[in-house]
Amino acid sequence: MRIQALSSFLVIALIVLASSVSAQEYMEEETDFIATAAKDPQFTIFIEAIKSAGITRTLRDIGPFTVFAPTNEAFNSLPEEKLNRLLNKDNREYLVQVITYHLIKGKHKASELGDKADLRSVEGAPLKLSSSDGVLRVNGANITQADISASNAVIHAIDTLLIPKDVKGKL
């Protein structure tokens, strides 16, 4: 009788333990790039730009990719008139180009990026990586926070908005 009770107790204990591990793994599961960036207050303007461009669902569903995500400060460093033109719904085409210029295919941590001098953005234009004084840069923008993990991306916060050459003259 005692052995049967002990066996039942052990089975129940194992079930409870297994379910708590599964629940913990579920809670720690990574969210997609959009959800991850939306939780970070330094990316509110970038997320609003993505929504304005109408590509939120696309960026949730694609990947893996690396995002050089401009911070709010990066957007706010633009002259107000230029920022307003960029975020204007009439300039959606340019906004999509600017956003996709911040993406590259594949998930690349900062330590891996140092080995690549030139990359091609999803937008199609090249991105130049450089490093000095221990700071990694993309097209001159400093990576201020590296390796923010998402289920379909690795996010690197940058301090400057990257604008493709063919869009610069149109804003």
| pLDDT tens by residue, the chain, 171 residues | 545 443 444 334 334 444 443 333 333 467 999 999 999 999 999 999 999 999 988 888 888 999 999 999 999 999 999 999 998 888 899 999 999 999 999 999 999 887 666 789 999 999 999 988 888 999 999 999 999 999 999 999 999 999 999 888 777
Measured CA to CA, the distance from residue 55 to residue 33 in angstroms comes to 12
CATH number corresponding to 31-168: 2.30.180.10
Task: Give the pTM.
Answer: 0.80
Long-range contacts of 81-86 (CB under 8 A, 24+ apart): 82/171, 85/171, 86/49, 86/171
118 neighbors 126 (Cβ within 8 angstroms): yes
Alpha helices by DSSP H, the chain: 2-28, 33-38, 44-53, 56-61, 72-76, 80-87, 92-100, 110-113, 165-168
Non-local (6+) Cβ contacts of 36 within 8 A are 30, 148, 149, 150, 153, 155
